[in-house]
Each structure stands twice: as structure tokens, then as C-alpha cells.
Amino acid sequence: MLRAFSHTNGRCVFHHTKRCHHRKSVLAIRREDVNAWERRAPLAPKHVKELTKMGYKVLVQPSNRRAIHEKEYVKAGAIIQEDISEASLIIGVKRPPEDKLIPKKNYAFFSHTIKAQEANMPLLDEILKQEIRLFDYEKMVDHKGMRVVAFGKWAGVAGMINILHGLGLRFLALGHHTPFMHIGMAHNYRNSSQAVQAVRDAGYEISLGLMPKSVGPLTFVFTGTGNVSKGAQEMFSALPCEFVEPHELKEVSRSGDLRKVYGTVLSRHHHLVRKRDGLYDPADYDKHPENYISRFHIDVAPYTTCLINGIYWEQNSPRLLSRQDTQKLLVPVKSATGATDGCPELPHRLLAICDISADTGGSIEFMTECTTIDNPFCMYDADQHITHDSVEGSGILMCSIDNLPAQLPIEATEYFGDMLFPYIEEMLVSEGSEPLEKQNYSPVVRDAVIASNGSLTPKYQYIQKLRESREQAQSLKMSNEKRVLLLGSGYVSGPVLEYLTRDSNIDITVVSVMKEQLEQLTKKYRNVTPVHMDVLKHEEKLSSLVKNHDLVISLLPYSAHPFVAKKCIDNKVNLVTASYLTPAMKELQESVEAAGITVVSEMGLDPGLDHMLAMECIDKAKEVGATVISYTSFCGGLPAPEHSDNPLRYKFSWSPQGVLLNTVQSATYLKDGEIINIPPGGALLDSVTPMDFFPGLNLEGFPNRDSTKYAEPYGIQTARTLLRGTLRYKGYSRTMRGFVKLGLINPDPYPLLSSTTPPLTWKELMCKLVGIKSPAEHHVLKEAVFSKLDKDKSQLEAVEWLGLLGDEPVPAADSIVGALAKHMEMKLPFGTGERDMIVMRSEIGLRHPSGHLEDKFIDLVVYGDNKGYSAMAKTVGYPAAIAAKMVLDGEITAKGMVIPLTKNVYGPILERVRAEGIMYSTRSIIKQ
């Protein structure tokens, strides 16, 4: 009987013991058919040769895909044959199809059933039904619980080659050619020796100092001490490398030698600490892993260029990296050398993760789906919690292929076969139909038997319990599933979808007239169903959709909310919007209450976060007996200063029509005890005040709607000044005043712009607006417009800059302002790489019981992400999404109209928006 093997001078030597039996059994090596890349086999020709020498018959199913040619197996004595029903033991690497199983046989392969993996339960059921004896390589372990049959080393070798190739691509995308560009994917090499030579060649260039200086020293962290990690380290050692202790990473990442790369091997004691005392006790950790946390994201990750993860995660044990940890790591790195456009700095230190464990949702929490050999890399954007198939864009390069050894199939086959061979004979000489109890298996083989004679073996009967638990959980999940109807696919929808789809129990239907936006959203986010339609033109279909959902989120223009709210009332479905609670919405108060539903409004930025920040301050003041004597709050969504280069000093990151209409609204506010009324039609733009609280921004502000109505809901009737306003860059209001003069901010119906009428050019429309006959000479129209603008040159320049005196067609719309909004959306978008900015300043004056006065200042400044969400999208979308989730989860239970003025609503939302990176600051000035 075969019991052991050893390696002598590089040759595999097998040791035999004799075992008597009446007839020689037949072994079959089945064809691998799980995917195109599976070219391995469980035994190599050298192993087959030994078996045939002993008199065993070996069948090999034909396969042109197998990396080792059939003729090599024939030379070793095997028979190439399709029919393997003669065999008593059938072996493979991966699982066979259920319909290819042969009853009452011994099978050995990686079954991936020991965790009751759902995808493989049909296979297990068929194995039980056909009374097959299943040996699972994964459970062949020694007395210490260490696996004795595995491909681990070659997963590490292939994974390391791949991530070096990926780093070359990622560096190039970031503007750097590096020696890693000359390293290919692992399967591009005939064998590992060729790959080692390619890595050495890259290493030679590194040793010559050919790495770009602005990327700084590179550091590689290896987790785990098993064969996976050792295989990766073996390939890494072909580079000019120096291994350091984890605590030395910080120093070498800043001032290390650019002619080498640095590596460190991370063990548990380097990053795990007990929650109560910060110590690590290995015996205690084995018993109570839930009492420990990982400091990897604090002590190691900030100084890591590339993480090679080889550890598997067990339930209740701390993860190596979470999404929140990673968000904090994506901060710019300052290199020792000055960066230039041609020699840029890295966006952050942690560039890549090679998760060789391929343990989805495991130690790397956000690795929720493996990559493939066909598509080996993706980018994980921690800020948006999304992945995209590319090496470009924001985030961390991820590689998590779950069949890495298949890239080096010949060496992997030989290595695996050496480990498996000592146990083959004892599996081979038994019959699958015989009772398991009668088999004289060694502990390694016996403990690997998952199923036999139609039943799970005692050691693996837990699999059935796991299945039942999962089925119960799935049943519970189905009962817990929430259905959300999202109306609108514009700027704000991204953060809303990103936040809500983190919960796999939430299914979202997105309705929009914008087909391309819908397609992009459904590709980007899971659990999203698109519906292409105009909500306002398909009333019955909208009603049907509302009826089939638990919650509606309306991101439509505010004028559409009453229409949507009526559908929610009719179908008793809750509603969330980010817009003002308008008079038209207030009229529905009684109907909302009668329907027993919750309608949450003003759940964005302004209105929304402004209310919450105010109420947090006001409530705290009241707790100490202070009274509010003044409240002013100004907020604006703006382009970042470097992108404000147009006559309006403005670009659009949300509804253009809403922005334009705000300038002709009426406004009411309280100033030193006197109510000030500003009529509609543009007088608002004559009430502009310079804002100097951030002098470098050169801001101006004007009142916004009726501020006085907030005295009662805020509970600040004692205030003698109450003003809420809008911020813009200086010059905006002057330009908008010109548009008002020309009649461009007119919301009244204008039939000539209908899609059913002949199109007008802007030149023709402007002739009508200034009262001259069309067509007119350009200079004649220009002079008429200039006159209408009261000879204001800057206003005329803005009109010309926007092309409003030219021959470009006017977009079809219901009104002139609607057409102008569409035109401006095309003329004033944020370009690639441009970002917006949110600025909010609230000032609250307090009088304390002692008589002294205090001024509270609350500042909120948020920048958009260059290739991610805009600041406006984040500050509107996340509060709306959080409120929606609170309604779904029963945290907001009040019926009727709700705005975020109570602590039970604003408290959780403010806490959760901070977790999304929306930060604010407060300070006080005490007056005697």
C-alpha cells in the first residue's frame, strides 16, 4: 500500500507497502469541465506510472483542455477512455456536473459543500441520492488540523505574479511607467521559472533606480504564515527586496531605498488586541475571537502599498479591513520629492489588494465577489462603496481570483499529486457500495468522507443543519425584504442608491425618463430594477408601481411631489422627499394622517441638514435655559473656486430650473424685530449682501423664501432676527438680474417652445422678448438687448457667452425658463475632473439666564469627488437615503407630515451623515 513520498535531489520517490486483495481496482481521472481555465488534473503522469507499475488500471477521460498532454498519460500506462464506469474511484480537481455522476462510486474532488454552500447543495443532494462516497480534499488534514492535500503554494505564486502585473497597469493609469509593466499574468508563462525570470528582470530595473521617485518606496504586506503566503513570498523574493518587521513599515514607507521594495509578514500578534486591555493572548483568542479587534488599519495599512491576503476569516473573528477603515486610508500621500503634472504623487498609499484567500465577505469585508482570470482586476471605491471593472478611476485595485493555481496548471498538478498520491490506494481499493464502517481508512482519509451510502457521515451532519438555518434565514429575509420606488435618476440618485443597496434586503425600482441614466444605474448598483417612463404622463402605471412598494422616494422637481403624494395616500405607502414642504403639500396633511402614512419632507441639504444643525444647537441651548435671540443661516451649492470661470460663477450639480426659479421667488424674513417682505419677480436680486465669513471665497447672499415660518417649528419665537438665505459667488445676482430683465426667468406656459411646433433659435426668441422683428441683424438685436439690460455690459457679456443671440435651437420646453434651464445644463455642466462645493454657515445668538450673550457658529463645507459624487449629491442624497432607511426600519414611526426638527429624527441622521464623510464644525463667542 502507498503510504509516503519524499523528494531526493529534486526527484519524487515513492515508498510502497504491500496489501493483498483479490483483484486490482480501477482509477479514473475525470475531465475538468467547470470552466475554460481549469486545465489541472489531480495526478500527473509520474503518479499514474507508479500506479500502473503496481498493477492498477488507470483511465483518463480525454480532454484537449488539460495542460498535460494525453500522450504523457499514455506513456505512463494510462488508457484514454470516455467511459469511466468501470472505475471504483473517480478523481478530479473540481466538482463534476450532477448528470455525470455514476451511482455507488468513490469520488474525490473539491466539493465546496462543507459550509453548506448554496450553489453546491444540488450536487450534494445528487451524491446522497446516488449513494456515492465523497472524499473532499479540503478536509484531508493531519492531527494538528493542517491540510495535507492542497494547491496553496501555487495560489500564492500565481497571485503574486498577477498583482505585480496589476500594479504595473495601475501605476500607468496614475501616470507612472514602472518595471512592473514587463510582468504578465501568471498564465502567460509556460512555467513559474519563466515568471521568476520576468520578475527578476523587473527587479533589476528597480535596483538601477528606475522606479519613479514621486511614488516613493513600495511596501508589500503578507498576511498568514501558511503555504499560500509562502508561495507569494517566494515569488516576491525574486525582486530586490528587504523584509522588515511590521513596526518598521512606517519608516521605510517614508524614507526607504527606491532601489528595492520592502516586505513584511503579518501574524496575529502584530495586529490583534483584546478590546478591554489592548493585549494579545493566543490561547484566549482561539477561545474568544469576538473579544478582539484588529489594529491593521491603524498600525500597518497606512504604510502599505500592496496587501497580499492569505488568511481565511472565521465567524466572530475581527476582520482585517472594513469599508469604514478603507475610507480613512484613501488620503493623499506626500512624497519626499516635489510632484508635478508629469510626475504626480500617488492618490493614497494603499494601492492594491491581492486577496488570495478569495474568501468573499471575509477578512476583507468589502471583497464581496471574486474576480476571474478573464477579468482579474477591479477598482473598489470605498467612498461610494462600489466596484468597477477597470484599473482606472478612484479606489483600490482588487484581485481576488478563486482558482489561481489553474494559471500554472502543470506545476500545480505535480505539486498537488505529490500530496494526494500517498492516500490514493486506500481510497482506490474500497468499493463505494460497501459500508463505510468496514473500510480500513487512515484518519486523514476517513475524516475527509463527507457522504457515504446515501447519508452524510456523522462528522458532517451539521451541513444539513446549516442548510435548514440558511433556508429559515432566507425565508425570514423574504419576509423582511423591503421594496423602494425611486422616482428620478438625476444627480442625487447615486448616493441614495449606494446607501440603500448596502442592505441586501432592499429591492429598488428606479423610474426615469432618462434611459441612459437608468442603464448606468442598473449596471452600477445591485438589486435595482429600471422602469423607463414619464411619471407625470402615466398616472395609472405610477399608481400600480406605488401600490407594489413599501416606500416611495421622490427626487422629481418639487412641483411633482403633490401628485406623487396623492398616489401614496391612495395606496397607503410612505413617502420621502428632499424638497420643501410646500403649501400644496401641506394641504394634504389631513389625507396623509387619515391614510396612516408617513410623508417625510425637507430631507436634503437646504432644506434638511440646515434644520438639523440648527435644532441640535437650539435644543442644547434650551437644555441650559438659554433663549434664542437671532438666527441666520446661508447655504449654497457652488463650483469649487478653481472651476467658477464663467459669467455666472456657477455650474449645475442639481435641478437647473429650480436654481433659476429661486431667483424670482418672494422672500420674507425678520430683521431686528421688523418683518421684511420681498415681492416675487426678481426683487430678491436687489437684496444681495456681501458675505465675508470666508473672505477668500468672495461670496454674496440673498434671502430664501419665507424665513419667519420657522420661528414656531424651531421653537424660537423669542428671536428678533430670523433669516435663511442662499449663497453665491459675487457677480451671480447681477448676471441673473439681466436674465430677469429679458424675461428669461418666466415659468408661464409658452406654446411656441412646444415639441409640436417648429423650433425657434435663441436669436428668434430674443427678438420676440425684446420686441423687435425677426429676423434681425446681429448688431441690431445686440443693441436692443443691451438697451433692455439698461446698458449693463457684464450682463450683455453673459447673454453672449451663453449663445443667446445666436442661431442655436432653443430646447423644447413648456416655458421659457424651462428652455433656459435645459440650455444652461448643456452650457454649464461640471467637466471631467471638476468638482463642486457646498458652503453653509449658521449663526445663532443666545441669551443665557445669567444675562451674558453667546454667538454660535456652525460651518459645513463639503467638496465633491473628482470622479465620484458631487457635494450636492452627497449632502442631499445621503440624508434622504438615511431617512428612507429609518422609515423602512421603523425608526421614524410618526404619521403625517414629518420634517427633521425632533431629536429622534435629526440625531441619528447627523451621526450617520458624519460616517459618510459629511463633517461640520461649531464654535462659540461669549459676550459679557
* Residue 198 CB-half CA count within 13 A: 22
Distances (CA, A) of 207 to 217, 349, 620, 728, 740: 12, 21, 61, 54, 67
Q: Are 65 and 38 in contact (CB under 8 A)?
A: yes
Q: What is the C-alpha to C-alpha distance for residues 886 and 358, in angstroms, rounded to an integer?
A: 34
For the chain, the C-alpha Rg in angstroms (whole number) is 35
Q: Are 112 and 386 in contact (CB under 8 A)?
A: no
Q: What is the C-alpha to C-alpha distance for residues 640 and 638, in angstroms, rounded to an integer?
A: 6
Beta-strand ranges (E) seen in 421-504 are: 449-452, 455-456, 482-487
* Residue 407 CB-half CA count within 13 A: 27
Put residue 88 in one of left, alpha, beta given phi > 0 → left and psi -120 to 50 → alpha.
alpha
- CB burial class (10 A; 0-12, 13-18, 19+) of residue 72? middle
| Phi, psi at 668, each rounded to 5° | -140, 135
Q: Which helix (H) or strand (E) segment is 628 a member of?
A: strand 627-639
Task: Please give the grid coordinates belonging to residue 521.
Answer: 444605474
Active site residue: 606, 672, 748, 814, which one? 606
Q: Note the helical H segments in 68-221.
A: 70-75, 121-129, 152-173, 192-207
DSSP letter for each residue of 704-721: -SBSGGGHHHHT-TT-SE
- Sequence length of the chain is 928
Q: What is the C-alpha to C-alpha distance for residues 778 and 806, in angstroms, rounded to an integer?
A: 8
606 is catalytic: yes
- Count Cβ neighbours within 10 Å for each residue of 327-360 and write b for 16 or more, e otherwise: bebbeebebeeebeeeeebbebbbbbbbbbbbbe
CA 289 to chain centre: 28
| Paired strand residues for 147 | 141
Q: What is the C-alpha to C-alpha distance for residues 569 and 562, in angstroms, rounded to an integer?
A: 10
Distances (CA, A) of 490 to 524, 553, 643, 724, 868: 14, 13, 21, 26, 14
* Residue 859 CB-half CA count within 13 A: 8
Q: What is the C-alpha to C-alpha distance for residues 118 and 470, in angstroms, rounded to an integer?
A: 9
CA dihedral angle for residue 491, residue 494, residue 496, residue 500, rounded to 10 degrees: 170
- CB burial class (10 A; 0-12, 13-18, 19+) of residue 431? middle
Q: What is the C-alpha to C-alpha distance for residues 716 and 730, in angstroms, rounded to an integer?
A: 31
- Catalogue the active-site residues: 606
